[in-house]
Chain A
Amino acid sequence: MWKQPAPANSSFNDYNTFPLPQTQRGQSSHAHGPVGHTQQPLVTGTSVLGLKFDKGVMIAADNLASYGSLARFRDIQRLHPLGKHTLLGVAGDMSDFQWLKKELDALLREEDALALSDSHPSLSPKNIYELLSNLFYARRSKMNPVWNAVLVGGWDKVKEESFLAYVDLLGTTYTAPTLATGFGAHLAQPLLREAFEAKAGINGDGPLLTQEEAEKVLDDSMKVLFYRDARSINKYQIATITAEGVSISDSKSSDTYWKFAEGLRGYGAQTQ
């Protein structure tokens, strides 16, 4: 009864996540029934932003996991480090994200164990991204998608350059110096591109943003998202990945300004 029509032209959108219980009444239910597929996301995270700067790459995401339009879990970390030089920023279904964390952490543990007794190279950001891409594409091909959009940020130790790439539930992959998922692709990506191109030029061959500049752009973008994305919260973290490794900031808030709202007319009950 709460179902809203699926938006045209999109198979997945972070915001059509109404929690409809999908139990099949009147049919015999087995304890070990058919394999359950994620047919729709339930508890979801909204936009993730990514931006390259002169010494590495930054990824930002807020701390909210929504249950439909309910701001259900307000202290969820959606940035997940993998090893010393890779980090995931995850939007979409949070239970799929938890499963993904578990699988990848297990893999990395195995790799670490191998590295103890051998000169075993650690997984590069590229390796992890390739693995994720193959996983997401394989799962979508089984009609059992991992319902997420993921930004992979990292530092490639061999090439000595930053890494930033996107993969989603369809197995669609791409890289760019600035990336954003979900609503961020509409609201923040233009701001990120504008800031990036202002210094680096349209071919990206000029100087990149400094760490301070990059953080400022992300702060501004997260503020815009908080103002306009109804599934966001004013509490977010920024991860910075450089040659030195991964560091994830404490949660922080934007300074917001609402005074103008009192002067607004036309959105609700007003006497005058």
Chain B
Amino acid sequence: MALYSQPPMSYTQEPTTAPVEHRFNPYSDNGGSILAIAGKDFSVIAGDTRQSEGYSIQTRYARKVWQLNDKAVLATNGFAADGTNFVKRVKQRLEWYEHAHHKPMGLKSIARMIQTMLYGKRFFPYYVYNILGGIEEDGTGAVYSFDPVGSYEREACRGAGAAQSLIQPFLDNQIYFKNQQPEAGSEKFVPGNLPLSTVLSLVVDSFTSATERHIEVGDGLEIYVVMQKGRSADDLLDEKKLAPGLKVEELGALGEGEGERTFLVRQSLKRD
């Protein structure tokens, strides 16, 4: 064994007596999870409301999902201070855009803007995972997901945050029909066509399950639903069709109002 043992210290490195640097760490992880699912004519963006640091719950209600305009909702997850300040800057850019162009920014433009804003801080990044959901200019529901430095793509669904590893495989199976085969002779599965009621159930199940198995997820659930203009909201507003415990409220138009409607669905989650 001597052949393989470490060479004597003098060959490699002198032991140093330099004091251990204690550098200020400007980041923290505030837990929680977010997810978004795109439908044919709607988009659903959700997040839990717990904010934590380590094993301590800082508050049981802190917002992670933000309405940007009548057709876009942004969910942020990671370092909460970066999240709120990033959203603040995004909202300011959207306001400037409205003043300059007399119309709200389109979803795909917001997505590209977010990528440049994130990459603009490539060497001192916003420690935030963003998911943008809403209605595209062609009226389809869309979801864009980002990494902290701006890489992004449009997807049918995405989960992020503390419970990403619990939520995403579930969504891959239920939204993308991964590891499922249609019965012989029946139609092929096409992702992105599920009805709103099914999508809402999947969101609720994702978060109740994540709450059971992840300590940083819980307390409350906020689900934003953005609907294509002209689409009937009966499937959401009908109390009988809605799962018990869900409370729906319509959020008024933020701008002129071009017909897209945004709803906020709330539910409580376990607090332990």
Contacts and interface: CB of A to CB of B under 8 A. Distances in A.
Contact of B24 (A5, A39, A166): A39
Contact of B81 (A5, A37, A137): A137
A228 to B, nearest CB: 16
B54 A9 contact: yes
A6 B51 CA distance: 24
Interface string A13-51: 000000010000000000000000101100000000000
A173 B26 CA distance: 14
A113 interface: no
A34 to B, nearest CB: 16
Interface string A135-163: 00100110101000000000000000000
A185 to B, nearest CB: 5
A186 interface: yes
A166 B58 CA distance: 9
A143 B81 contact: no
Given A9-B54, A166-B58, A185-B56, A145 B85 contact: no
B62 A170 contact: no
Contacts of B53: 172
A172 B56 contact: no
Nearest to B219: A202
Contacts of A172: 28, 30, 53, 58, 80-81
Contacts of A166: 58
Given A166-B58, A202-B271, A137 B85 contact: yes
Contacts of B22: 3, 6, 39-40
Nearest to A203: B268
B182 interface: no
B19 A11 contact: no
B25 interface: yes
Contacts of B2: none
Interface in B41-68: 51, 53-54, 56, 58-62
Contact of A143 (B19, B26, B56, B80): B26
B140 interface: no
A256 interface: no
Contact of A141 (B26, B30, B51): B26
Interface residues of A, number: 27
Contacts of A202: 271
B84 interface: yes
B190 interface: no
Contact of A173 (B27, B81, B124): B81
Contacts of A9: 54
Contacts of B100: none
A170 B127 CA distance: 12
Determine the main DSSP class of A at the interface with B. loop
Interface in B1-49: 19-20, 22-28, 30
Interface string B67-99: 000000000000111001100000000000000
A133 to B, nearest CB: 8
Contacts of A173: 80-81, 84
A186 B56 CA distance: 7
A92 interface: no
Nearest to A169: B24
A56 interface: no
A143 B30 contact: no
A176 B59 contact: yes
Contacts of B20: 3, 5-6
Contacts of A141: 26, 124
B55 to A, nearest CB: 9
A178 to B, nearest CB: 10
A253 interface: no
Contacts of B54: 9-10
B59 A174 contact: yes
A170 B81 contact: yes
B26 A170 contact: yes
B60 A176 contact: yes
A103 B26 CA distance: 23
Contact of A175 (B25, B59, B85, B124): B59
A81 interface: no
A77 B44 CA distance: 50
A184 to B, nearest CB: 11
Contacts of B80: 172-174
Nearest to B28: A170
Contacts of A11: 24-28
Interface of B: 19-20, 22-28, 30, 51, 53-54, 56, 58-62, 79-81, 84-85, 124, 271
Shortest beta-carbon contacts, A-B, top 3: A11-B25, A171-B81, A174-B59
6 contacts: A3-B22, A11-B28, A37-B24, A143-B26, A170-B79, A174-B59
